[in-house]
Structure 1
């Protein structure tokens, strides 16, 4: 009897479901016809001639913008950009370039190690004058970059001016496939602790992480610091393979759930691990996202590592590339992913009604899940670290010196001159700017037309405006004027007060010119508050284990 009732209920719902499907299909057909009709009339009758690619492209972009920021359309002309993002590869010369505010020209900023730019002899600060017969004067970074890139194996003549000598140099450069450095540095730190820095989950990165970890174990590593700060993610499969290095075989790490059955998948560990007992600390921050969150979240859920730093970005969505007409591609969000505890860490709820909107998931609305050991963890809002340690913040003056708004480019000019005078420098773990060298830099800043906005002065101006608006200013005018004198712009004082932070900035750039990204990463670890805390934690076995143990109620 029960079976008959259930069958009748199912049959009763079928007409309703069919009606819903028919209504949906009718709406889709209707709206597509309306869109086509509107554009046809625009094309025939609009007062100006329309660019079809631009107008319809804008329509597509607006439609996708109402969904989520990760669903994107790439026409044939931009498919290479998507492939570079997915693989970390492009064909070019292998160098960072930047716009020089003082010269109003694009210059070489940082050649990559063993890449065409470095092999041709291009150096930091070289002013790009022309590429083949095309002048690069009055051009922006994107224009110059588009001419530096091309087909692998193709060659061009680049003409640059070296600022330290004033000489015009011509070099032949042959483009080749460039793999962005996704693992810029790994090495042994103090007290037999290994360190691996991974900045993206691109193709085959798991193999290199595996090699690095095995090498560190051979060198005697007794603990590991795995740095995923500022790692925006990438391949889910690579994340699974990396976690598999530290946890047993046949554990389900990730489940994806979407509208279509083919979007529903399970990702399990498939091989025997390398090490399941070595203490691990994973460093994260607000720019740790996607595959990085799968990695640190899985290690947290399985109580295999302590996560240290600040809360991660909170991207719990999965995208796949889909081929569309005329050789375009659509990067399409197809599913949510769920890590071992069963939680999805998506921080933002994307609503699709009324043109689309976003809503941050409040902490009070998140749900409790449990790790393998029974510790409480929550969904929504990214991965909350087991031990919160905030990073050092750079003072405002550093952002201006780094060229964000400094029209004098005093920092770049000092670094270029320093590099020209020093054929070699000490290794990254030992290099340090002397007090005399810093004083030289300081004098250059004072002689240059260096200006920057102090945050205290901006806040004071806002407070004065508010006080005047609310009628309190006149009574407090003497106090405001006294405070204004004390907060008066004083570059000498700021250069002295922020000496250590500015020295680190200069040292990082200089070391990168000799030892590339590996060197600059290694140097910055000396100053890194979160790194120091991670080393301390690994050495303190009792505290480390306590963080992985459920709290008694």
Structure 2
């Protein structure tokens, strides 16, 4: 958001004018008076700062800071978008941007390509995950560069872009010329027949083309002989409400009530039903969710659960039952405001927390009401969608967290590819026990630093007791414990070997075959997908879950 001096004084005069005009309603409306009074105070504070503060006041920065602080006092989803961030807003809603289709990560003060969109200019030009970015259009990329390199990648469609990269294992850099294009981030990142008769769709987002992509995938799977379906909504953060409604409509008859929104402005309250003819109301379905399935993903899972249209498998979802509306503001800016909560057909709201002065207050489980599905099964409101069949994922250890935070699994995959120019197909790739031994040797030689939870807690206690004579005995005991509790790197690797093999396998496959390869591998290795396959192969058990009261 960029203001000239003239614009700033215009805005200041306008705010002050609104304040004075609103004050005339003091006798009849105390609320309007309070608004007017505080706007007047705010305008006066800014006027005095601008006039007398020792350094020059940046109006854009000051206003942005105050607006951000104001919105932070409500909830995390009420957000202001200045003009220079509108591209991010459009990406979120449409899934489109002009660029080359890569994601960058800063690792050890270097910018690495860590993800490449399928069918993007980057893939077509031969870029690889692991390539280090050296320059963009002759602008050298360093850790101190002021402009985000990702922004330098973007530009007008069909505009040329020259990047210089350093490929792992290569002796010299190389320059590659690309042509920017409109990159469409796919909602459906993968679909296919994963077992005879069992179709699988991974839906990652709910931007403007989600329902269209879903229907296209369903048509293809039907043509390939699909008799049952797994819809994977894990790690799906949600998106557009309209797309969630249209996707539910694919599996429910036209006219079926799908979701209801209720907020402060009664005329905005609305009940949404399916407007189109359904695509398939009979094919047995399993929907996969986890703790990162949110918003629109929870609407789809909750609606299909309420109508007993699908069995939900996985972990309890995130619990975001809030609806946002975007409003246009002056000077090409926007604000996204939480205006309502949504309710599934059974009448439940899955919102997990309430927000008071910006702080989240979690619902107590004892206060959550019980509702009934179409077949009379009990479902509970608040705190997200509870699966019909829970398949728990073990909590990530501090050791695994440290490896990911320091990009050690990514860096090992780089070293692995240098030594292995090719690997077996994604679906058949196996990270063996001997590979794990190689990983341990590589990790020992790297600069990996790790402190276990126990070591951290003992260190904290030692710091608290070493200077206090009253705790001298305890301090000696803690020192003895510290000497004996050291956990070796080998022990950590052995304790976490199954999860390590999965994470390293996926990272290595990503480097060779991109995300499509990771999906192909997961179909034969992911325990939650396998749980869905197993259930769909047992029709009687599947039906018993949907009819059990």
TM-score by length of 2: 0.88
Q: State the alpha-carbon separation in 2 of the partners of residues 60 and 289 from structure 1.
A: 26
For 2:534, the equivalent position in structure 1 comes to 536
For 2:6, the equivalent position in structure 1 comes to none
For 2:88, the equivalent position in structure 1 comes to 81
For 1:41, the equivalent position in structure 2 comes to 48
Q: State the alpha-carbon separation in 1 of the partners of residues 519 and 27 from structure 2.
A: 57
Kindly indicate whether residue 331 of structure 2 is the aligned counterpart of residue 326 of structure 1.
yes
Cα offset for 1:220?
2.6
> Once structures 1 and 2 are overlaid, which stretch shifts more, 31-40 or 195-204?
31-40
- The residue correspondences of 1:60-71 to structure 2 (distance < 5 A) are 60-71=67-78
Cα offset for 1:170?
0.9
What SS does the corresponding residue of 2:188 show, helix, strand or coil?
Answer: coil
For 1:265, the equivalent position in structure 2 comes to 270
Cα offset for 1:84?
1.0
Kindly indicate whether residue 169 of structure 2 is the aligned counterpart of residue 161 of structure 1.
no
For 1:359, the equivalent position in structure 2 comes to 361
Cα offset for 1:326?
0.5
Q: State the alpha-carbon separation in 2 of the partners of residues 538 and 141 from structure 1.
A: 53
Kindly indicate whether residue 97 of structure 2 is the aligned counterpart of residue 90 of structure 1.
yes
Cα offset for 1:209?
1.2
The counterpart of 1:127, out of the listed 111, 126, 132, is 132
Q: State the alpha-carbon separation in 1 of the partners of residues 380 and 26 from structure 2.
A: 39
For 1:502, the equivalent position in structure 2 comes to 500
For 1:378, the equivalent position in structure 2 comes to 380
Is 1:290–1:317's contact at 8 Å kept on the other side of the alignment?
yes
Cα offset for 1:471?
7.5
Kindly indicate whether residue 225 of structure 2 is the aligned counterpart of residue 223 of structure 1.
no
For 2:18, the equivalent position in structure 1 comes to none
Cα offset for 1:276?
1.9
Is 1:99–1:141's contact at 8 Å kept on the other side of the alignment?
no
Note closer, same or farther for the CA distance 1:141–1:540 as it changes in structure 2 (3 Å cut): farther
Cα offset for 1:441?
3.1
> Once structures 1 and 2 are overlaid, which stretch shifts more, 71-80 or 113-122?
113-122
Note closer, same or farther for the CA distance 1:37–1:280 as it changes in structure 2 (3 Å cut): same
Kindly indicate whether residue 182 of structure 2 is the aligned counterpart of residue 177 of structure 1.
yes
> Once structures 1 and 2 are overlaid, which stretch shifts more, 318-327 or 189-198?
189-198
Q: State the alpha-carbon separation in 1 of the partners of residues 240 and 428 from structure 2.
A: 36
1:397-423 C-alpha deviation (Å, 9 max, x unpaired): 333333x136xx5x4444224334544
Is 1:132–1:158's contact at 8 Å kept on the other side of the alignment?
yes
Kindly indicate whether residue 451 of structure 2 is the aligned counterpart of residue 453 of structure 1.
yes
1:411-463 C-alpha deviation (Å, 9 max, x unpaired): 44442243345444322211123444443333222233332222343345456
Is 2:138–2:163's contact at 8 Å kept on the other side of the alignment?
no
- Count of residues in correspondence between the two structures: 524
Note closer, same or farther for the CA distance 1:137–1:333 as it changes in structure 2 (3 Å cut): same
Q: State the alpha-carbon separation in 1 of the partners of residues 480 and 522 from structure 2.
A: 39
For 2:249, the equivalent position in structure 1 comes to 244
What SS does the corresponding residue of 1:526 show, helix, strand or coil?
Answer: helix
For 1:14, the equivalent position in structure 2 comes to none
What SS does the corresponding residue of 1:489 show, helix, strand or coil?
Answer: coil
1:478-518 C-alpha deviation (Å, 9 max, x unpaired): 6x677645532312333344333323222212211232112
Q: State the alpha-carbon separation in 1 of the partners of residues 194 and 186 from structure 2.
A: 21
What SS does the corresponding residue of 1:548 show, helix, strand or coil?
Answer: helix
For 1:23, the equivalent position in structure 2 comes to 30
Note closer, same or farther for the CA distance 1:218–1:172 as it changes in structure 2 (3 Å cut): same
Cα offset for 1:394?
4.2
Cα offset for 1:347?
1.4
Note closer, same or farther for the CA distance 1:270–1:156 as it changes in structure 2 (3 Å cut): same
Is 1:257–1:264's contact at 8 Å kept on the other side of the alignment?
yes
TM-score by length of 1: 0.87
Is 2:130–2:511's contact at 8 Å kept on the other side of the alignment?
no
For 1:116, the equivalent position in structure 2 comes to 121
Q: State the alpha-carbon separation in 1 of the partners of residues 503 and 36 from structure 2.
A: 58
Cα offset for 1:330?
0.8
> Once structures 1 and 2 are overlaid, which stretch shifts more, 468-477 or 415-424?
468-477
- The residue correspondences of 1:281-430 to structure 2 (distance < 5 A) are 281-351=286-356, 355-402=357-404, 404-405=405-406, 409=408, 411-430=409-428
Is 2:261–2:271's contact at 8 Å kept on the other side of the alignment?
yes
Q: State the alpha-carbon separation in 1 of the partners of residues 359 and 128 from structure 2.
A: 46
Is 1:256–1:266's contact at 8 Å kept on the other side of the alignment?
yes
Q: What value does the CA root-mean-square deviation take over the aligned residues? A: 2.7
What SS does the corresponding residue of 2:547 show, helix, strand or coil?
Answer: coil
- Unaligned 5+ segments in structure 1 are 1-17
Q: State the alpha-carbon separation in 1 of the partners of residues 273 and 27 from structure 2.
A: 37
Is 2:187–2:213's contact at 8 Å kept on the other side of the alignment?
no
1:115-148 C-alpha deviation (Å, 9 max, x unpaired): 1222222222222111113211224797211212
- The residue correspondences of 1:197-216 to structure 2 (distance < 5 A) are 197-216=202-221
For 1:136, the equivalent position in structure 2 comes to 141
Q: State the alpha-carbon separation in 1 of the partners of residues 429 and 174 from structure 2.
A: 30
What SS does the corresponding residue of 1:250 show, helix, strand or coil?
Answer: coil
Note closer, same or farther for the CA distance 1:42–1:472 as it changes in structure 2 (3 Å cut): closer
Is 1:312–1:382's contact at 8 Å kept on the other side of the alignment?
yes
Q: State the alpha-carbon separation in 2 of the partners of residues 265 and 19 from structure 1.
A: 34
Is 1:185–1:196's contact at 8 Å kept on the other side of the alignment?
yes
Q: State the alpha-carbon separation in 1 of the partners of residues 469 and 329 from structure 2.
A: 58
- Unaligned 5+ segments in structure 2 are 1-24
Kindly indicate whether residue 57 of structure 2 is the aligned counterpart of residue 58 of structure 1.
no
